[in-house]
Amino acid sequence: MTGVTSHRQRTVRRPELVGLGVLATVGVGLIAIAAEWITGVGATVIAIFLLAALVSVVWTAFVGGLDARRALAPYGLLKPGMLWLCLFFIAPLWSMLEMSLSSKKSRFDFLPSFTWEWGNFQKALTDFAPQFGRSFGYAAAATLLTLAIGYPIAYVIAFRGGRFRSLLLGLVAVPFFTSYLIRTIAWQSLLSDRGPIVGTIDKLGLNAPLEWLHIMNNGRLMNTPAAVIGGLTYNFLPFMILPIYVSLEKVDVKLVDAAMDLYSTVSQAFRRVVFPMSLPGVFAGSLLVFIPAAGDFVNAQFLGSPETTMIGNSIQNQFLVQLNYPLASAMSLVLMAVITASVLVYARFMGTEDIA
């Protein structure tokens, strides 16, 4: 009993406030250093101060005894993740926000000054509206196509794969052994005017319907919107198959049997039992395809034409050729904002409330 009393006597008041306070201070301090608000001697002082703050937590933990340690623990566990986010997510994002509201005195001015330049956002939205439109349109089309192609594949692997399951899954991932760029460039030769695909289409006489569907343009597939969407679909297909497979694999086949026992048809069993249970996979797959596809510039560059460029191409051009960092930052932020908003809407719609 005496041991417990002595612990109580050493208890520090409100240790959880110490934990929270230090977490917040260190977080803000790290952001300040990484975003270069404070540089040189100031940064050194701040860094030393942050170390001291952390030492004070340890001191609190030691002196405060068990209760203090218990109260501090959640903050200790939060610390690695939170500080990582501060340093590598919030600080860069803040720098980008600051840059997007800055203006340059001249083209080669490397350090644009912060001037609340809202014009950057206006320019991003007006001058690059077609590119934004194409990015989201192409990404949405690619997402639907990957879903249409990927769902049956995942279904077959999960339910009919048998002992070949692992092999089939491995085959889905095989394209990743080759570089993304090489895979895209390979499509150039497959789709070229004298390539195998256009040749087959010619032989089958499918030119006219494909032209009518606007998939072909003047007898060619390369450098059309269809080629860009096709490239995106091909490149991101595994990101759709794998999550759907994971959620389908967990579905107990007996549930389908049970549905059939209750006089449901095969399609009813699928629609009302299997499909709803695979929705988390569909949701994850859609995000994994849509988000990178909207920001992609490789497919538009190698398979597209001047009329099919996406926002990624424009951002790259603004950063590297025009050296217009403020405008490029504004464009990136608009892209992020639209993607975040559409993901939230989508999450609401899909009923996955953990995200929204």
Binding range to other proteins, per CB under 8 A, among 44-52, 158-166, 254-262, 269-277: 44-52
Sole binder of other proteins in the list 1, 5, 41, 162 (CB under 8 A) = 41
Task: Determine which residue in the list 13, 107, 203, 254 makes contact with other proteins, applying CB under 8 A.
Answer: 107
What is d(CA 147, CA 59) in angstroms, rounded to the nearest whole number?
55
Question: By the 8 A CB rule, do 90 and 29 touch?
Answer: no
CA–CA separation, 262 and 315 (whole Å): 56
For residue 113, state whether it binds other proteins (rule: CB under 8 A): no
Tokens linked to 258? 């049970």
The token pair that represents 24 in the structure block: 């917040």
List helix spans (H) across the chain.
2-9, 15-34, 41-85, 91-100, 119-127, 129-155, 165-173, 180-191, 196-204, 207-212, 225-249, 253-261, 266-269, 275-295, 298-303, 311-320, 325-350
321 binds other proteins per the rule CB under 8 A: yes
39 belongs to the binding site for other proteins (CB under 8 A): yes
Interface with other proteins (CB under 8 A), residue from 21, 24, 25, 76: 76
Residue closer to other proteins by CB (options 62, 176) is 62
> Which residue among 17, 52, 63, 66 contacts other proteins (CB under 8 A)?
66
The smaller minimum CB distance to other proteins, of residues 110 and 212, is found at 110
User: Roughly what angle, to the nearest 10 degrees, separates helices 311-320 and 129-155?
Assistant: 130
Residue 113 bridge partners (DSSP): 103
Q: Which is nearer to other proteins, 286 or 308 (CB)?
A: 308
CB of 321 to other proteins, least distance (A): 5
Interface residue with other proteins, options 264, 319, 350, 352 (CB under 8 A):
319
DSSP letter, residue 97: H
CA-wise closest residue to 52 among 86, 26, 81, 89: 26
Q: How far is the CB of 345 from other proteins (least distance, A)?
A: 29
| Minimum gap (Å) between residue 74 Cβ and other proteins | 10
**Is residue 279 at the binding interface for other proteins, with CB under 8 A as the rule?**
no
CB atoms within 10 A of CB 352: 15
Q: Should residue 58 be labelled a site residue for other proteins when binding is judged by CB under 8 A?
A: yes
Question: Within 10 Å of residue 205's Cβ, how many Cβ atoms?
Answer: 8
At 328, the amino acid letter reads A
Q: Interface with other proteins includes 30 (CB under 8 A)?
A: yes
Should residue 323 be labelled a site residue for other proteins when binding is judged by CB under 8 A? Answer: yes
3-state secondary structure of 32: helix
CB nearer to other proteins: pick between 70 and 271: 70
331 binds other proteins (CB under 8 A): no
Provide the binding-site residues for other proteins, judged by CB under 8 A: 26, 30, 33, 39-41, 43-44, 47-48, 50-51, 54-55, 57-58, 61, 66, 69-70, 72-73, 76-77, 79-80, 83, 87, 106-108, 110-111, 131, 185, 188-189, 192-195, 217-218, 220, 222-223, 302, 304-309, 313-314, 316-317, 319-323
